[in-house]
Structure 1
């Protein structure tokens, strides 16, 4: 599958633990963003890839919030980083929902998808290069182990719960 952009430098890439696991997901999301960008019109390929991207992003964000950001929010010295990440998750979720409700055959869909892609790539680059680094200094091994356990357990559950607007489901 096509790659989009480069993978940002981070000391957590290809490392065990919660941050390495999150970055692994981010790399998959980069691939899906690139694949959707290469599609055209209201095709089954675009619909399938966009649906997969939507489920992945929504499940990842929910599990990440439960595993990482909920713990970060309880630590006053890093609460702001958690608030920032969760707020960006909400913006991305809103963009996904807006796209799912739009007609994929229109050129405006791809333009709006470009905005989502730009927003999401900014978000994960910021997480990988700034936020993970900043919050990791305030988390001990027990915190990180707990977070990884919660993320691994919650992501499949969240993927099952994730929804795409009824319009997209009707297209299949």
Structure 2
């Protein structure tokens, strides 16, 4: 049987958990920390965007699971802001480590919640055929989103949102 979107997304989540653990083993402004954080940020942000454009679009169209998708999209925005803030900090500072630990905790909570609550409900609601079809869409979108992250295409909008939140 073909892989469904939920299995595919969990593969990324497992990779992200490994990257978080690896980053926590680094110290200071090291090349390892820079490389691992860049990998994590790039893949996690691209994953979130591709997930929104495939799975969450399908979930938004279904009134039974629309709120789950809206909740997750909101969390993606909050995580995106943390990534941008951390990216601009001195990696060797305790402030960077504190902010990274906050991101790691919130990100892990988010993906655990998706896997334990949102995905089972969405799998049941969307059905197997749709779940398998969404995998192909995700695989097509993700490389495009990786390039957008590398190009920092969304950073101006994220910075604007951060400024608006701070001014509120």
TM-score category, normalised to shorter length: 0.7 to 0.9
State the Cα distance separating 1:33 from its structure 2 match: 0.4
1:155 to 138, 142, 150: 142
Structure 1 unpaired stretches of 5+: 1-14, 166-172
Question: TM-score normalized by structure 2?
Answer: 0.86
**Following superposition of structure 1 onto structure 2, how do residues 30-69 of structure 1 map, counting pairs within 5 Å?**
30-69=17-56
2:103 to 116, 120, 128: 116
State the Cα distance separating 1:85 from its structure 2 match: 0.7
Name the structure where helix makes up a greater proportion of residues: 2
State the Cα distance separating 1:35 from its structure 2 match: 0.7
**Counterpart Cα distance in 1 of 2:137 and 2:54:** 5
2:133 to 118, 128, 146: 146
State the Cα distance separating 1:108 from its structure 2 match: 1.3
Indicate if the aligned counterparts of 2:60 and 2:69 stay in contact, CA closer than 8 A.
yes
Question: TM-score normalized by structure 1?
Answer: 0.84
State the Cα distance separating 1:22 from its structure 2 match: 0.4
CA offset digits 1:24-47 (Å, max 9, x no partner): 100000000011111111111111
Quote the RMSD (CA, aligned, Å): 1.3
Moved over 6 A (4+): none
**Following superposition of structure 1 onto structure 2, how do residues 124-135 of structure 1 map, counting pairs within 5 Å?**
124-135=111-122
**Counterpart Cα distance in 2 of 1:31 and 1:135:** 25
